[in-house]
């Protein structure tokens, strides 16, 4: 069974840092692009970042560029999101998701269950 | 950046047909994907590439895309279909993946 499990969320003060992890299982992790998508409380889905299969290429939403860093460890089947200089508006549930065919026009499937990040003093 | 516009809410009686639209400039030239999200759960893909269904998704879910509007159609709506639905495309201009604002489907 293909499974994605996020961890690392929690409460952090504005300006602080947090690293999210997404453990993958049930598929050849190293063959797929991966994404992070977030959802603020009561709001819609917003794409955050993408990484290609070997980690050599990344993309970011303008709202997080320069503050967030996506990375992966294919030996550990794990995706990461390093979040620095956090702001209140970064408060959200963060989901990792797989791109099933590793291409730009594709969809996200499956998704993890999400991890909540709360930025507050 | 590319904007996708969805109605905030759609209501339908059980057994009827629900149509959820997703508007965007020349969206017919893009591949549109749809997700269902129930409260407290992660999104689930229900339609990809405008009109294809993942395995396990009922045939009642279908999609179309032309001109400036993509549509998710749910036939013979059931109470269990009540959820938020999001459309999504890839925007080559901004090199980003874009979601619509979401539509809350209420089954009366």
Chain segment A37-63, per-residue pLDDT in tens: 999 999 999 999 999 999 999 999 999
Mean pLDDT for the stretch of residues A30-40: 97
pLDDT at A102: 82
pLDDT at A105: 85
pLDDT at A114: 98
Residue A101 — pLDDT band, cuts 50, 70, 90? confident
Chain A touched by B101 (CB under 8 Å): yes
Cβ-contact B44, B36 below 8 angstroms: yes
The residue among B42, B45, B54, B103 with the most chain A CBs within 10 A of its CB, best to mutate, is B42
Chain B touched by A108 (CB under 8 Å): yes
Subunit contact A47:B101, Cβ cutoff 8 A: no
Subunit contact B96:A35, Cβ cutoff 8 A: no
pLDDT at A104: 81
pLDDT at B13: 98
For A72-99, what is each residue's pLDDT tens digit?
999 999 999 999 999 999 999 999 999 9
> Greatest CA span in chain A, whole angstroms?
41
SS3 state of residue A89 = helix
Q: In chain B, which residue ranges form alpha helices assigned H by DSSP?
A: none
State residue B31 phi and psi, 5-degree precision. Answer: -90, 125
Nearest-angstrom CA–CA distance, B107 and B78: 7
pLDDT at B49: 96
Regions of chain B where pLDDT drops below 70: none
Count each helix (H run) and each strand (E run) in chain A, helices first: 0, 10
Nearest-angstrom CA–CA distance, B91 and B103: 21
The answer on pLDDT for A103 being more than 90 is: no
Of B45, B54, B99, the CB nearest to A46: B99
């Amino acid at each position: 069974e293909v499974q994605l499990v996020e961890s690392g969320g929690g409460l952090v003060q504005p300006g602080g840092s947090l690293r999210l992890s997404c453990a993958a299982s049930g598929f050849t992790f190293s063959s797929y692009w991966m994404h992070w998508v977030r959802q603020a409380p009561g709001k819609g889905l917003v794409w955050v970042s993408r990484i290609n299969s070997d980690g050599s290429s990344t993309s970011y939403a303008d709202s997080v560029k320069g503050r967030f860093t996506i990375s992966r460890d294919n030996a550990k089947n794990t995706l990461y999101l390093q979040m620095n200089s956090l702001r209140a508006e970064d408060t959200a549930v963060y989901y990792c998701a797989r791109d099933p065919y590793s291409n730009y026009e594709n969809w996200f499937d499956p998704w993890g269950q999400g991890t909540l990040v709360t930025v507050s003093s | 950046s590319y904007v996708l516009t969805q109605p905030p809410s759609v209501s339908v009686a059980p057994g009827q047909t629900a149509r959820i639209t997703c508007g965007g400039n020349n969206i017919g030239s893009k591949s549109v994907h749809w997700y269902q999200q129930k409260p407290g759960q992660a999104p689930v893909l229900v339609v990809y590439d405008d009109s294809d269904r993942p395995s396990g998704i009922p045939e009642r879910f279908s999609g179309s895309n032309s001109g400036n509007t993509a549509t998710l159609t749910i036939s013979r709506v059931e109470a269990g279909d009540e959820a938020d639905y999001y459309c999504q495309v890839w925007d080559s201009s901004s090199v980003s993946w874009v979601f619509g604002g979401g539509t809350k489907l209420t089954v009366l």
